Amino acid sequence: MLRKRIVTLLMTLLLATGLSAALVPAVNAAPAPAVSAASCATATNWQAGTWYPAGSIVRYNGSYYRAEHANPGYDPVISHWYWHPHSCDGGGQNPSPSGFVVSEAQFNQMFPNRNSFYTYSGLVAALSSYPGFTNTGSLEVQRREAAAFLANVSHETGGLVHIVEQNTGNYSHYCDWSQPYGCPAGQSAYYGKGPIQLSWNFNYKAAGDALGIDLLNNPWLVQNDSAVAWRTALWFWNTQSGAGNMSGHQAIVSGAGFGESIRSINGSIECNGGNPGQVQSRINTFQSFTQLLGTTPGGNLYC
């Protein structure tokens, strides 16, 4: 009886001081609104001083956070009462069951009009050829590399629409007969194909040797097999400096910047004032993709 009176007295004091709300959940409090995984696709970058209702999802330093309680823009890393790390399809700490930093939903959002040849599964299957790709450095850098690679690929293929080079008049130009192995598939067989538009007989020879595929004699595999196509693109991105001084992979993970990845692909044709409109187009796509992936573009965007 005495214990009951003590408990009653304590509750009366708590109610009088307004502290009971901090200790006893309100019976009729509405739960935080449910947020579907798709909400990450529309998440915005966190900004101090912005009001965030409970359930809001924001990007912060390459990761996603969900507002567990409404707040006036508290820092997601400092204010753990208000924000919790959030994982969902399209962002967060584990964005994709494939292990790739780009989920299939994000890939489809990047390339809404893509040719069915360019499958997400084909890209994922090709990743094992270059395990350092999008697995080097911080999560921010990993996502930045994915955005850089896919932005350049998008530019080369019109948004993953074109499988082969559209200017057929150039087809006979990509055979360098000075090479000891010549052009066994024919003078006009080594035109641009695949995500990176691989061209020239010597590139088909080098890519085939690196990947264990006879692309010198059968260059058409790049336009007929999605995984092979993606593997040749990753070969160039990860290992070839092309017309530049470093590979696209090195440009991003070293901090040299997106501009250097453009240089490796197209050199003076676009860089150093060669075609500023094309450079800007690549940069615009890159910035769009980094935003979608919840990362930053870094510096040195131009070449």
Residues classed as catalytic? 156
- Alpha-helical (H) ranges within the chain are 2-17, 20-23, 104-110, 120-126, 139-157, 201-211, 221-224, 226-239, 248-253, 258-266, 276-293
Phi, psi of 52 (to 5 degrees): -120, 115
**What is the DSSP pairing of strand 83-85 with strand 57-60?**
unpaired
Q: State the angle between helix axes of 226-239 and 139-157 in degrees (0 to 180), rounded to the nearest 10.
A: 120
Q: Please, which residues bridge with residue 59 across strands?
A: 45, 64
Tell me if 79 sits within 8 A of 52, measured CB to CB: no
Single out the residue of 255, 254, 59, 238 nearest to residue 152, CA to CA.
Answer: 238
